[in-house]
Chain A
Amino acid sequence: MKTIDKYSHFLFTLPALLLYSLFFIYPMINGFLYSLTDWDGLSTDKQFVGFTNYWKLVQDDRIVDSLGFTFKYALALVIATVILALVIALLLNRIRRFQSFFRTSYFFPAVLSMITVGLIWNQLFAHAIPDIGKAIGSEMLSRNLLSDPNWVFYGILFVSLWQGLAIPILLFLAALQSVPKDLLEAASLDGASLFQRFRSVVMPFLIPVLNMIVILTAKSGLTAFDYIVAMTGGGPGRMTESVGLLVYNFAFQEFKFSYASALAMVIFVIIGIISIVQIRSLSRYEVNA
């Protein structure tokens, strides 16, 4: 009994070790190896081609465009999320009554699946918004904005925010509520204006959460897939083909499996850098909390 128990802790980790090695580490390594070949994903024949795929990546306009769209989208998403979530959290923090009702209501979109949200808005953009446009005589709104090259970006951004604001709002609100009341009162007695109070008293309490939100949102923006698939499929043309979608398309629609693997490695490096920043800010957050 005693001797068996000596290995218990090791046995505790065994299922996780097996699962993780087989379904995570092994594919990880394979992904990198695939990226060094010319494999199409189906044939039994594959050649080692070194870093050729990576060189091709840099010269591929479709990838450059896709990265451009993805960065622009992620950046806009981060900026809009931070500003709007903060404003809504400040408003929520102000009100005296119904606060929990509003909190719950603003949170609700977070529990829905992104694919459903995307498909709902896809339908509303096709049927509801043009009706509103016609009713108010706005020519711009009378079209399906998702098939309009000038507006599709904002259409997707709007839907991402509709759902994506939910959690940042609550994170900001929790941070706002951690600001000691007497500190605010003291500042107010000293004659600090609303803005001054926000900048000097409230802001320091928001910084850690702000870091979190920026990184989480950037990550979700850079890996966008569900909304795009549900709303535009990457169109019109290839305007909204995010890198997440591009990896999928290359690998499973166009049979450039090794090429897609190389692109995935590039995403890994980009997100890896962002995540290292995340872990850093996380450890800082834990010291402060």
Chain B
Amino acid sequence: MANDKKLSGLSMALLTAGLVIVFLPLYLTLITAFKTSKESARDFFSFPSELYWGNFLEVVGSNNFVQFFMNSIVITAVSIVLITLIVPLTAYAISRNMNKWYYKTLFVLFIVGIIIPFQVIMLPVTKLMTQLDLLNRPGLILLYVTYALTQGVFLYVGYIKTSIPKELEEAAYVDGCSKFRTYRSIIFPLLNPLTATIIIINAFWIWNDFLLPLLILNKSEAMWTLPLFQYNFKSQYTFNYNLAFASFVLTIVPIMLVFMVFQKQIIAGLTGGAVKS
């Protein structure tokens, strides 16, 4: 018993040490964002002598930061809405018709998509988007919705198979409900727990994604998302890294707030999604 206590104490000590490694970089990011370049050069690690907001003003003022932020919000939000409209609907139709070749083939194609690394399609897709004149925000959204299908359909089909009995809708059909109404008012609400997970997985993926915006939006600055801005901003802070840290803080804070409010759901969603994908 005493041994157990000692182990618990030792674990606590080690975990606290680990916590320093997790949070020190974030702490340094925060304090450096609030210091002038002179002060940072004097001592990188000291707490700022006063909260200097100039770095933030410069990042926001000299760039279309608000625009980039809005781009990220709109792209993520519209993609998520479309994903929640299309993915469960598709999966529902597939899971109720698994005995027909068309649906089975479709299902297999989506599953195969999980395996294929993005590098394989990234070149032809970029060419295609150029040809279709879709190197823009709507184009990017279409790609996100498409690529959310693979894992999404897989998860929904599994969920519907195990937890939505067919009898539910048969009763609705007898009452004269159309298939779409049955789906909308009976099935879709029952999928809510999984839909929450799907929204979380995809929202984080889209919000944080760098490669697709780089391929699709990099040429037109007005369309940049935050990660893309973050990357391109690199060239601006060669001589003043405090600006860099201010830009990091600006991109981390929104996600941190979201995390603090929904931490339980986010942790469950992201870890659950990792297991199931």
Binding site for B on A (CB under 8 A): 1, 5, 8-10, 12-13, 15-17, 19-20, 22-28, 30-31, 34, 41, 88, 90-92, 94-98, 102-116, 119-121, 123-124, 126-128, 131, 162, 167, 170-171, 174, 209, 212, 216, 219, 222-223, 225-226, 229-230, 243-244, 247-248, 251-252, 257, 260-261, 264-265, 267-268, 271-272, 275-276, 279, 285
Asked if residues A268 and B120 are in contact (CB atoms below 8 Å), the reply is yes
Asked if residues A123 and B244 are in contact (CB atoms below 8 Å), the reply is yes
Asked if residues B113 and A115 are in contact (CB atoms below 8 Å), the reply is no
Asked if residues A106 and B22 are in contact (CB atoms below 8 Å), the reply is yes
Asked if residues B119 and A223 are in contact (CB atoms below 8 Å), the reply is yes
Residue B102 CB within 8 A of the other chain: yes
A-B contact pairs, 28 of them (CB 8 A): A5-B179, A12-B90, A13-B94, A16-B86, A24-B121, A27-B124, A28-B120, A28-B124, A30-B128, A94-B7, A103-B267, A106-B18, A107-B263, A111-B256, A112-B255, A113-B209, A113-B226, A120-B29, A124-B25, A127-B241, A128-B28, A131-B44, A167-B270, A209-B275, A222-B117, A223-B117, A264-B119, A276-B115
**Among A22, A31, A34, A219: residue with most chain B CB under 10 A:** A31
Asked if residues A96 and B231 are in contact (CB atoms below 8 Å), the reply is no
Interface residues on chain B, size class:
35 or more
Residues in chain B near residue A271, CB distance under 8 A: 115-117
Residues in chain B near residue A162, CB distance under 8 A: 21-22, 25
CB distance from A61 to the nearest CB of B (A): 20
Report the Cα distance A162→B274, complex, angstroms.
18
Query: What 8 additional pairs, Cβ within 8 angstroms, besides A96-B8, A112-B255?
Result: A12-B180, A20-B110, A94-B8, A107-B267, A108-B259, A116-B230, A119-B244, A272-B116
Contacting residue for A111 out of B93, B211, B234, B266, CB 8 A: B266
Report the Cα distance A96→B1, complex, angstroms.
13
Residue on A nearest B208 in the bound complex, by CB? A113
Residue on A nearest B271 in the bound complex, by CB? A170
Asked if residues B113 and A12 are in contact (CB atoms below 8 Å), the reply is no
Closest 6 CB pairs of A and B: A113-B208, A27-B124, A8-B179, A12-B93, A275-B115, A16-B90
Given contacts A102-B19, A226-B211, contact A261 B94 (CB under 8 A): no
Asked if residues B271 and A244 are in contact (CB atoms below 8 Å), the reply is no
Asked if residues B124 and A95 are in contact (CB atoms below 8 Å), the reply is no
Give the contact stretch, choosing among B47-55, B189-197, B245-253. Answer: B245-253
Residues in chain B near residue A216, CB distance under 8 A: 274, 277
Contacting residue for B106 out of A17, A88, A105, CB 8 A: A17
Residue B14 CB within 8 A of the other chain: yes
Asked if residues B143 and A13 are in contact (CB atoms below 8 Å), the reply is no
Contacting residue for B125 out of A23, A104, A222, CB 8 A: A23
Contacting residue for B119 out of A34, A115, A212, A244, CB 8 A: A244
Report the Cα distance A257→B122, complex, angstroms.
11
Residue on A nearest B158 in the bound complex, by CB? A286
Given contacts A8-B178, A9-B179, A275-B115, contact A116 B227 (CB under 8 A): yes
Asked if residues A128 and B178 are in contact (CB atoms below 8 Å), the reply is no
**Among A97, A248, A264: residue with most chain B CB under 10 A:** A264
Asked if residues A13 and B103 are in contact (CB atoms below 8 Å), the reply is yes
Contacting residue for A25 out of B109, B117, B256, B266, CB 8 A: B109
Residues in chain A near residue B245, CB distance under 8 A: 120, 123
CB distance from A171 to the nearest CB of B (A): 6
Residues in chain A near residue B259, CB distance under 8 A: 108, 111
Residue B159 CB within 8 A of the other chain: no
Asked if residues B210 and A108 are in contact (CB atoms below 8 Å), the reply is no
Residues in chain A near residue B127, CB distance under 8 A: 30, 41
Residue on B nearest A7 in the bound complex, by CB? B179
Residues in chain B near residue A23, CB distance under 8 A: 125, 128, 142-143, 146-147
Residues in chain B near residue A112, CB distance under 8 A: 208, 252, 255
Report the Cα distance A112→B209, complex, angstroms.
10
Residue on A nearest B113 in the bound complex, by CB? A24
Given contacts A167-B274, A272-B115, contact A31 B123 (CB under 8 A): yes
Residues in chain B near residue A90, CB distance under 8 A: 11
Interface 0/1 of B219-245, CB less than 8 Å to A? 000000011001100100000010011
